[in-house]
Amino acid sequence: MIIKIEVSSNALKAYIRAVEDQKVDEQTAVTEQDIIEAVKGKQIIFGVVKDTIEKLKDSVETTDELVIAEGKPPTVGKNAEVHVLKRPKKREEVLPKSNEEGDVDYISPRPGWIVPVNKGEEIVVKTPPTQGESGKSIFGKEIPGIWGKDFDLDEIGGLNTETDGNCLLASKDGFIIIRTNKFSVEPVYRIYDDIGPATGSIDIPQSYDVEIAISKDVKSGYSVKANKVSIGGCIEDSEVIANELEIVQGIVGTSEIPITAKRIKVGYINGARKVYAESVNVIREVSAGAQIFADQVKASTIQGSTITASEFIWTNYLNGQNRIWVGIDYKSKMVHDRCSNELNNMEEPLEQLQKAWRNSEKRMNYLKELAKKNPKHPLIVKELPQIKEIKEKLDYYIEKKKKLEEDKAEALQKMYPTEKPFILIRSGFAKDASTGAAVPPNTIIHIRTEVQKILEPGSGRLMTFSEGQMTSTARYNIKELKTKLNKIDW
């Protein structure tokens, strides 16, 4: 009999069988030595199956193939894995929270569906693939382990992303947007609904240089906070805080909740809303009790409102009843007014305490004489704590008055930051912005320390403060004025 051995292409298995020797008439049985010699002849040194030798030896007939040697196959390592650190949820998946009583909070922000990132922040981290354990062929050679599947991070990176090693990073501030399985960073997040029950409030820290773009309104009771905010509709009785704020329509309502921004551009402000900013540009009118506190204010019409501007006010029409302060820092004025009100409110109780203390001092002389005879006299026990309380209250009020006077004096020093503030009324007084009908003016204009009351209709004029007094002129150079201004979008 003849021994035949075939080796698999990957050298992990060898197959043996006995076949008839066609050169001889009588077949001789296979011996163990024949098998061992055949294996050595194929240079097989690893994984020899001894059971196969036992089965095959003494064979005198052709046999089926048997495994004579089996190597150790290499294993496959782990595939590369994706770890998403910033993944926004679908808006409908982020539901408003309810308390134990079952009341649903529709107003609070709902974190999760708007996900901002700063430049350089990690979005996705890849765990690289690993190599499997090595194997060994039947020839005794090492077979390297198989690597797990890998992928390129650039394949899942979209707009404004970059790779750094095994990390996908934001290359600028923005919001995470996932489209077609790619992570993008977009500087503007668009909301095509009202800010209301369907969305909850929006709160994006101003440390992110991003914009929230709202197509419709910000409904009453809700709030929007971000670095930049644009609104296609109106801001109702709601809070908005931003650096850059643009409202296509207007600010309406009567709420005490203020609107706060560095720069505001708005269609109109209607209603007793408070607006705080560095610069305010109102395309149409400020009316119906609106209150603006800013450095620079530009509005087509001011009617029935209160405006405080530290640098200037620029308007076409100043109609109806208004209170105007120009050249006055509103923050310092608020501190000054608060201190003044508190000092006024303190006058009467302080006077009463001082009177009570004068009477107490007289009473103290009597109590001292009484104490010489009987230190535990009932009058002493009763009245001394009362006198002590009066003195403590008096000392508190005196200290408080001193602090308020200091704060008031400091606010007064800061109240007039601009040397040459002005108010420009280009077209004049007393014309209703909506109907064109005459509106009797009743406007008090304060320019720094000077005051003028406007009670009669008049043409346009430039009112300034220079060398300690207010001046008014109908002759002015618009181009020259504009060149001095840098915050209002002309």
Quick check: is 395 in a domain? yes
Quick check: is 131 in a domain? yes
d(CA 74, CA 137) in angstroms, rounded, equals: 10
| Residue-level pLDDT at 469 | 83
Quick check: is 148 in a domain? yes
- Look at residue 433 and tell me whether its pLDDT is greater than 60: no
Rounded to the nearest angstrom, the gap between the alpha carbon of residue 283 and the centroid of all alpha carbons in its chain is 28
Contact 291, 274 (CB under 8 A): yes
| 88, 66: one domain | no
Quick check: is 108 in a domain? yes
Quick check: is 110 in a domain? yes
Q: Which domain holds residue 384?
A: 340-408
d(CA 323, CA 325) in angstroms, rounded, equals: 7
Quick check: is 22 in a domain? yes
| 58, 105: one domain | no
Quick check: is 463 in a domain? no
- Look at residue 221 and tell me whether its pLDDT is greater than 90: yes
d(CA 452, CA 465) in angstroms, rounded, equals: 12
| 106, 179: one domain | yes
Q: Which two three-digit tokens encode residue 18? A: 């006995």
Sequence-ordered list of residues with C-beta below 8 angstroms from that of 162, at least 6 positions apart, any chain = 168, 169, 171
pLDDT band at 87 (very low <50, low <70, confident <90, very high): very high
Sequence-ordered list of residues with C-beta below 8 angstroms from that of 251, at least 6 positions apart, any chain = 234, 235, 259, 266, 268, 269, 270, 271, 273, 275, 290
- The most confident of the ranges 130-134, 255-259, 410-414 is 130-134
Q: What are phi and psi of 309, to 5 degrees?
A: -130, 130
Contact 281, 489 (CB under 8 A): yes
| 103, 64: one domain | no
- Look at residue 490 and tell me whether its pLDDT is greater than 60: no
Contact 415, 336 (CB under 8 A): yes
| 136, 85: one domain | yes
| Residue-level pLDDT at 175 | 97
d(CA 305, CA 315) in angstroms, rounded, equals: 13
| 107, 161: one domain | yes
C-alpha distances (whole Å) from 151 to each of 68, 82, 83, 87 are 40, 10, 13, 19
Contact 247, 266 (CB under 8 A): yes
Contact 180, 223 (CB under 8 A): no
| 63, 22: one domain | yes
| 91, 182: one domain | yes
Contact 212, 189 (CB under 8 A): yes
* Prediction pTM value: 0.76
Contact 19, 62 (CB under 8 A): yes
* Residue given tokens 């350089």 in the structure block: 120
- Look at residue 449 and tell me whether its pLDDT is greater than 90: no
| 162, 103: one domain | yes
| 66, 85: one domain | no
**Could you tell me the sign of the dihedral formed by the alpha carbons of 480, 484, 309, 305, in that order?**
positive
Q: Which residue type, as a one-letter code, is found at position 369?
A: E
Q: Which two three-digit tokens encode residue 147? A: 């690597």
pLDDT band at 292 (very low <50, low <70, confident <90, very high): very high
d(CA 47, CA 10) in angstroms, rounded, equals: 14
Q: Which of 3, 5, 8, 39 lies closest to 21, judged by CA?
A: 3
Question: Around Cβ 65, how many Cβ atoms within 10 Å?
Answer: 12
Sequence-ordered list of residues with C-beta below 8 angstroms from that of 103, at least 6 positions apart, any chain = none
Quick check: is 129 in a domain? yes
Give burial (CB, 10 Å; 0-12/13-18/19+) of 396.
exposed
Q: Which of 359, 383, 408 is the last residue of a domain?
A: 408
Average confidence (pLDDT) over 217-224: 96
Q: Which of 51, 70, 89 is the last residue of a domain?
A: 70
18-22, 57-61, 147-151, 359-363: least confidently modelled range? 359-363
Say how many domains are in the chain: 3
HSE, CB side, 13 Å, CA atoms: give it for residue 436.
0
Q: Which of 152, 186, 220 is the last residue of a domain?
A: 186
d(CA 330, CA 338) in angstroms, rounded, equals: 12
| 23, 115: one domain | no
- Look at residue 216 and tell me whether its pLDDT is greater than 80: yes
- Integer Rg of the chain from CA: 44
pLDDT in tens, 120-145: 999 999 999 999 999 999 999 999 99
Question: Around Cβ 251, how many Cβ atoms within 10 Å?
Answer: 29
pLDDT in tens, 92-107: 888 888 877 778 889 9
